[in-house]
Amino acid sequence: MTWSELRAFSAIARREHQVFSRSSTFWAVVGLGAALGAWRASPPGTSAAMAAYQALQIIVLGVGVIAIMLAGSVATRDRRQGAAELVLAKPQGSAPLLVGARFAGMWLSMLAAAAIMLAAASLAQAGLGGAGWRPGPYLNALARAAAPLGLACALGLSLATLFHTALASGVAALYWVSIPLTRSYLPLVLDTTLSQHRLLATLLGAGALAVAAARYGRQVRGPRRGGARVAWAAGLLLAGAAAAAVAAALSGEDLLTRADPVLAAIASQAALPERPAPGFWLRGADGRLVGMTDFAGRPTVVAFWGPGSPPSARSLALLAQAQAEFADQGLVCIAVCLDRDAATLRPFAREVEGEMVMVWDRGRHFGDGMEWSDSPLAVAYDVERVPVLFVLDAQRRLVHKLEGEVSAEWLRQRISDVLAAP
Amino acid sequence: METEIRGLRKVYPGGVVALEGLDLDIPAGVFGLLGPNGSGKTTLMRILATLLEPTEGEAKVCGRDVRREKAAVREILGYMPQDFGFYPTLSAYETLDYFALLSGVSSPKERRARIEQALARVNLQEMAGRRVGTFSGGMKQRLGIAQALLNDPRVLIMDEPTSGLDPEERIRLRNLLAELAGDRVVILSTHIVSDVSSTADEMAILHRGRLLFSGKLGDILAPLRGRTWIIDLEEEELSRVRAEFFVTGVFRSATGLQVRVIAEDMPHPRGYPAEPTLDDAYVAAMKQEAQAGDVV
């Protein structure tokens, strides 16, 4: 890209951003999302990591839908507002430059919406939640929102360019909404709502943009002069996305582990009273593997929690407190985060002080009740809802299973019992 | 010739023939393209603006082929469609900036200069910062012209630019078109005869996709000289005169009715000779075409 093309690119992106960000739809979505995020961040004791996580969920789903719809209406917008012929009659440089700049402008608008919503959640959390404000989790959430929002814009833009109808963006938006509602049934490799498959999201997004550019080029220059190179690039990028999807599927990481024989075998080693509890190797927030055998011979509390359940996230403070109180007696507290995305753990881990061990396992749950989980460990421990705590003695035998929120005093008593036992 | 059209034919999907083998030469100056709604004017304008592929034939704008050299044609072309709109949330300046970028002007300094010049041309400098969504119809038309002027085009195509304007705006716009003509081509398509008679140097009349006339204003009026009459009539005589003569216009005066008639000899005792107008020529051309169609 030459210097003058770069200047044109940024100027078009800026104008496109203005077209988007000044629309009433945009501000309605931002207002609604900000209010919802602030409301979710306002209960006393809400941590910054939790507030940011909740806001991220709203952004990815809500702003994602709007992104795909607004981007999907660009071609139809030009026609609806009568600007299409004015635009098409201009020489307008290369189609990839124009489509890319328009995409960049939309993406910028969506990121601005996300930033405003995160700022609202942050203010509510600091003012009402009052559990220690930090910028880190909010910046982390903004970075994690970038890929899915970019993908939504790219898909919307390409669908609209291909089909020239608002229906295309409607179908895409429906798909976007349907993902979280029908997760159990859709092949998980298509689950791009979270930033799990960055490579797939990037290739698919770039491929969609290249398709839009090729199509737009044909529209602008006529069918006989369509950009063959752009069409080739689109084909290669989409083939790459397909390959990434197949690789992800074959890796098994996203398959429903309910039907996984390995998971079935682990589940057969269920945690039973007076029997050694199932062991595990899982990655911590720093990426290192942590196993039960690292703490052999020490009484242990294994707690399952998930960011989708604020009460379970609050139990982390209780565990950290117990860890600090009983560390000199050899107690180890291990908090297992169940979530789709390993990156979720990091902001929460930064909020917990002390020696408590925090690890992540692939899992998912909705609200406070566990809908289902593809975490082998959660199945082995028969976890139906979070929070749930398992108190194990020094021989790793299960002594107590505590479901739901517990008081500090109650937990202290159970731990003391285990420590006092011969 | 600045613009040459040879054997141009356009058939839309479904078999509707919009242009039927059109041959036309358009010189520099204001060129009026006159015809009723559905005569093929907009189809011709869109083909010249590279927005529509002709079915057959060729068209060259300043020697550049509209089919094979679309980008080259667009570089020298300013186009204002019949119906158009802008992004309502952008100001007039921002709108023109966007279109200047699409016209390939990447330097901010040059864009600013061109925008200011275009705004001055259409007398919208005071409105530069105002959002386009708040503009009146006339202001939008002027902004439409401004966007077409951004690349200092050699050919300016205006499709029905005066429709929907109040009389004052229409006069202002005609004056502007005359000013803009200079050494460039301004192709003005309209179904309003007075738009052409007051601005165009040369003109063409289209009807059902075919060319009825092409040439200077004087050329179309010449055959009517000495054959155009005005008759002062009583109201009850009108139907008889209509049946008997070729009437091109009926007007109400203080004394009764005045009828414009084309006839070889004095058609009525209260008739007197008149200078032919483009209205007479246009109506005559349309009637003759309709009669020819009936015969066929």
pLDDT at residue B40, rounded to an integer: 92
Give the nearest chain A residue to B143 (CA atoms).
A86
CA distance B59 to B69: 11
Q: What is the mean pLDDT of residues A387-401?
A: 88
Same structural domain, B77 and B152: yes
The model's confidence at residue A255, banded by pLDDT at 50, 70 and 90, is very low
In this predicted structure, what is the pLDDT of residue A371?
A: 53
A224 C-beta neighbours (distance < 10 Å), count: 9
Q: What is the CATH number of the domain that holds B105?
A: 3.40.50.300
The residue among A252, A155, A138, A249 whose CA lies nearest residue A202 is A155
Inform me whether the C-beta atom of residue B36 falls under 8 Å from chain A C-beta atoms: no
Q: Nearest residue of A to residue B83 by CA position?
A: A82
Cα B14 vs. chain centroid, distance in angstroms?
27
What is the interface pTM, i.e. ipTM, of the complex? 0.80
Question: What is the predicted pLDDT for the residue at A89?
Answer: 83
Last residue of a domain, one of B167, B187, B221: B221
Residues 280 to 339 of A: which have CB under 8 A from any B CB? Answer: none
Q: Which of B87, B91, B94, B152 to mutate to test the interface with A (most CBs of A within 10 A)?
A: B87
- The answer to whether the Cα torsion of B262, B264, B267, B273 is positive or negative is positive
Lookup: tokens for A16: 């496109």
Please report the pLDDT score of residue A260 as a whole number. Answer: 47
B222 in contact with chain A, both atoms CB, cutoff 8 A: no
| Residue-level pLDDT at A227 | 67
Name, in order, each residue with C-beta under 8 angstroms of B19's C-beta and a sequence gap of 6 or more. B8, B9, B10, B40, B43, B44, B47, B54, B209
What percent of chain B clears pLDDT 70, i.e. is strictly above it?
98
By the 8 A CB rule, do A369 and A273 touch?
Answer: no
Taking only residues 51 to 110 of chain A, the set having a beta carbon closer than 8 angstroms to any beta carbon of chain B reads: 81-83, 85-93, 98
For residue B61, the model assigns a pLDDT of: 93
User: Cβ A91–B99 below 8 Å, yes or no?
Assistant: no
Whether residue B134 lies within 8 A of chain A, CB to CB, comes out as: no
Select from B162, B192, B221 the last residue of a domain.
B221
pLDDT per residue as tens digits for the range A181-200: 655 444 443 444 334 567 87
Query: What mean pLDDT comes out for the span B20-35?
Result: 91
Is B191 in the same domain as B275?
no
Q: What is the mean pLDDT of residues B113-119?
A: 94
| Per-residue pLDDT tens over the stretch B99-115 | 999 888 888 999 999 99
Select the residue of A8, A11, A83 nearest B85 (Cβ to Cβ): A83
- pLDDT above 60 (res A368): no
Please name the member of A81, A91, A220 whose beta carbon is closest to the beta carbon of B85. Answer: A81
Chain A residue numbers touching B107 (CB-CB < 8 A) = 4, 7
Are the beta carbons of B85 and A82 separated by less than 8 Å?
yes
Question: Is there a single domain that holds both residue B41 and residue B188?
Answer: yes
C-alpha B139/C-alpha B134 separation (Å) is 10
Confidence of residue A107 (pLDDT cuts 50, 70, 90): very high
CA-based nearest distance B85→chain A, Å: 4
| Cα–Cα dist B80/B82, whole Å | 7
Kindly indicate the confidence band of residue A249, based on its pLDDT and cuts at 50, 70 and 90.
Answer: low
Per CATH, which fold does A258-420 belong to? Glutaredoxin (3.40.30)
Closest partner residue to A92 (CB to CB) among B49, B53, B104 is: B104
For chains A and B, CB pairs below 8 A equal 93
Our CA-based measurement puts residue A16 at a distance from the nearest CA of chain B, in whole angstroms, of 9
CB contacts under 8 A, A 106-125 vs B, are none
The Cβ of residue A288 has, within 10 Å, a number of other Cβ atoms equal to 8
Across the range B118-141, mean pLDDT stands at: 90
Rounded Cα gap, residues A394 and A411, in angstroms: 17
Minimum mean pLDDT range among A163-177, A252-266, A372-386, B92-106: A252-266
> Facing residues of B233 across strands?
B257
Q: Among all residues of chain B, which has the CA nearest to that of A19? A: B89
Q: Up-side HSE of residue A120: CA atoms within 13 Å toward CB?
A: 21
pLDDT of residue A261: 47
Tell me how far apart the alpha carbons of residues B243 and A314 are, in angstroms, rounded to a whole number. 96
Contact map slice: A 8-27 vs B, CB within 8 A = 8, 11-12, 15, 18-19, 22-23
pLDDT tens-digit series, residues A113-171:
999 999 999 999 988 866 677 888 899 899 888 888 888 888 888 887 777 666 666 77
Stretch B181-205: mean pLDDT: 86
Average pLDDT over residues A265-290: 72
Tally of domains within chain B: 2
Question: Same structural domain for residues B140 and B257?
Answer: no
Domain boundary among B221, B250, B268: B221
- Work out the pLDDT band at A364, boundaries 50, 70, 90: low
**Domains in chain A: boundaries:** 3-251, 258-420
pLDDT at A362 over 80: no
Does the CB of B58 have a partner CB in chain A at under 8 Å?
no
pLDDT per position as a tens digit, A301-311: 999 988 888 88
Is B106 in the A-facing interface, judged by CB distances under 8 Å? Answer: yes
Q: Are the C-beta atoms of B156 and B78 separated by less than 8 Å?
A: yes
Nearest Cα to A340, choosing from A300, A376, A373? A373
pLDDT of residue A67: 82
Whether B50 sits inside 8 A of A90 (CB atoms) is: no
β-pair partners for B258: B232, B251
Q: Please give the residue that has the higher pLDDT: either A91 or A392.
A: A392
pLDDT in the model for residue A126: 87
Mean pLDDT across A347-359: 87
Based on the fold, state whether residues B190 and B227 are members of the same structural domain. Answer: no
Interface test with B, best of A86, A99, A225 (most B CBs within 10 A): A86
Cα of A192 to nearest chain B Cα, Å: 32
Confidence of residue A75 (pLDDT cuts 50, 70, 90): low
The chain A residue lying nearest B93, using CA atoms, is A15
Residues B110, B209: one domain? Answer: yes
Q: Look up the domain containing B282 and give its range.
A: 223-295
The confidence score (pLDDT) of residue B57 equals 93
Over residues B223-242, mean pLDDT: 87
B30, B119: one domain: yes
Nearest neighbour of A86 by CB, restricted to B70, B84, B107: B84
- Rounded to whole angstroms, what are the CA distances from B129 to A371, B1, B58, B116? 54, 40, 42, 12
- Distances in Å between the alpha carbon of B30 and those of A86, A105, B218? 21, 40, 15
Give the model's pLDDT for residue B1.
60
Same domain, B201 and B242: no
Percent of chain A with pLDDT over 70: 81
State pLDDT tens for residues A13-45.
999 899 888 888 889 989 999 999 999 888 887
